[in-house]
Amino acid sequence: MSLEDKTVTWINLGVQPYDGVMRLQDALVKLRKSDKIGDTILAVQHPVTVNFGHSQKDNQFSDLLLSRVRERYGSEDSENVMCYLSDEGISFCHSDRGGGATVFAPGQYIFYPIVKHSAITKRPAIDIGAYKSKIYGVLFDSLTNLGVRGINVSDQQQFRDRNERRDVWIIRDGKTLKMGSKGIKFTRDVAYHGFALYVDADCVKPNEIVNQCGYTPDEVALWTVEQELGRKIKPAEVYDAVKKAFSAHFRYDEFIENPALEVPVCR
């Protein structure tokens, strides 16, 4: 195995605006394509940001949000929705990642692996299902390493049926509780975007303004690690759990810390 396969650069960005991190990610994707850098993982949290993905049918604001818009502005047209978000200090961004609507917020730990996917999947061409399985493995093991039990992840049949939007979840008292999500993109031999872990107890509250990945709140609710375990989770615990999971599924044995990289400001 080459040195590139064994090592990965880990960049912890703290809390950064979504658009700025996307510009950074795009620049790193270009560098990874040309082998000017090795595999790189961005670890970040975003301010409250509504994000719509590539799946148009799964990009939906919730009835709750639309009712608030009607009450404030008299109608729920798109211009009034954007005014409401702006008035509430909530950013809105489109993305080329797979999947539908979500709301990022501090306390959701986001990870963007920028990698040569064939070295991860051991497949010569793009194999979306194989790479998704690796990402789901990281999600599953990250939550397990944090102490969560009874975790479910989407499988290959759900990939084929396009019915995988629950991503990673548990069942409690008959309810489906989603504890993380993924959205990935491929460009030639590089995979990017990534996944989120819902950690802090209040980090999923802002998601009430969208139908998460097209699911209504009655179909799928969001749940956090702190809610499940009944205790506070330290950032170091999250990063240790995720690194261990990446090591298991992406076969990295060394994480090279690079915290000093400058991030473009979102404007």
Residue 120 makes CB contacts below 8 A (sequence gap 6+) with: 131, 134, 191, 249, 250, 251
User: Is the model's pLDDT at 108 over the cut of 60?
Assistant: yes
Block residue for tokens 């608030």: 68
Residue 250 lies in a domain: yes
CB 207, CB 222: distance < 8 Å:
yes
pLDDT tens per residue, range 184-243? 999 989 999 999 999 999 999 999 999 887 788 778 789 999 999 999 999 999 999 999
CB 101, CB 60: distance < 8 Å:
yes
Q: Is residue 16 classed as helix, strand or coil in its secondary structure?
A: coil
**pTM given for the model:** 0.89
In angstroms, the CA 170 to CA 24 distance is 33
pLDDT at residue 161, as a whole number: 43
Give backbone dihedrals phi and psi of 108, rounded to 5 degrees, phi first.
-90, 120
CB 263, CB 58: distance < 8 Å:
no
Higher confidence at residue 167 or residue 143? 143
In angstroms, the CA 120 to CA 188 distance is 14
Give the CATH number for residue 106: 3.30.930.10
To the nearest 10 degrees (0 to 180), the angle between helices 78-87 and 63-73 is 90
Residue 237's alpha-carbon distances to 13, 17, 26, 226, 242, in angstroms, are 16, 23, 28, 12, 9
Q: How many domains does the chain have?
A: 1
70 sits in the region (left: phi over 0; alpha: psi -120 to 50; else beta) called alpha
pLDDT at residue 260, as a whole number: 56
Length of the chain: 267
Residue 258 makes CB contacts below 8 A (sequence gap 6+) with: 9, 10, 11
pLDDT at residue 39, as a whole number: 95
pLDDT at residue 262, as a whole number: 53
Residue 265 lies in a domain: no
- Identify which of 109, 126, 123, 136 has the alpha carbon closest to the alpha carbon of residue 249: 136
pLDDT at residue 221, as a whole number: 87
Residue 245's alpha-carbon distances to 58, 130, 254, in angstroms, are 29, 16, 13
Q: Is residue 160 classed as helix, strand or coil in its secondary structure?
A: helix
Residue 263 lies in a domain: no
Average pLDDT of span 24-33: 95
Residue 117 lies in a domain: yes
Residue 101 lies in a domain: yes
Q: Which domain, by its residues, includes 190? A: 3-257
